[in-house]
Amino acid sequence: MTTLSQEICLTRTIHAQPEAVFAAFTSADGWCDWCAEKASADARVGGKLHVYTQGYNAYGEFTELAPNRTAIFTWNGDKEPPTRIQVWLDTVEESTVLTFKVTGLCPEPDWQAFAPELERIWGRVLNNLKNVLEEKSGKTH
């Protein structure tokens, strides 16, 4: 079995503080604000993550955390190849630049078949994250 190091990388400039963006990926309330009906998140290295929405479940484990800068976790969603998600946050003026990288942890044919759909889905939910956080911060642009 060959593991593919192919990746999807998405960026968003969000007019919100890095603390708010970091919490969106590391707290149950944060996940529920932008993409989940229910969630649990134990934001520590080795801590578990579970996200549920519209009959879809994803499970993961935090592997690296640097408050308000980096969150890295595994992601195992229903009927999709396992991935690792890396979130990096950089402050630029009064905004946070989110770099979101998804790395496939599966055989190449599985990744090739699913990568375009994965990029579409994550792109849509990250747009929602941006909208939700900017509305909360009152800094929409």
How far is residue 84 from each of residues 6, 15, 75, 118, 133, measured CA to CA in Å? Answer: 11, 26, 6, 12, 24
In-domain check, residue 11: yes
pLDDT tens figures, 23-48:
999 999 999 999 999 999 999 999 99
When pLDDT is averaged across residues 7-18 and rounded to a whole number, the result is: 96
In-domain check, residue 73: yes
When pLDDT is averaged across residues 53-64 and rounded to a whole number, the result is: 96
When pLDDT is averaged across residues 125-140 and rounded to a whole number, the result is: 90
In-domain check, residue 40: yes
In-domain check, residue 12: yes
In-domain check, residue 65: yes
pLDDT category, 4, cuts 50, 70, 90? Answer: very low
In-domain check, residue 1: no
Position with higher pLDDT, 4 vs 6: 6
When pLDDT is averaged across residues 69-85 and rounded to a whole number, the result is: 93
> Domain total for the chain?
1
Query: Residue 3: is its pLDDT beyond 50?
Result: no
Burial class (CB in 10 A: 0-12, 13-18, 19+), 46: exposed
Largest distance between two CA atoms of the chain: 49
Task: Tell how strand 70-77 and strand 56-66 pair up.
Answer: antiparallel
When pLDDT is averaged across residues 5-34 and rounded to a whole number, the result is: 95
Query: Residue 139: is its pLDDT beyond 90?
Result: no
In-domain check, residue 2: no
Amino acid letter, 47: G
CATH number at residue 33: 3.30.530.20
pLDDT tens figures, 92-126:
998 999 999 999 887 777 778 888 888 999 999 99
Residue-number span of the structural domain to which 61 is assigned? 7-137
Rounded Cα gap, residues 140 and 70, in angstroms: 24
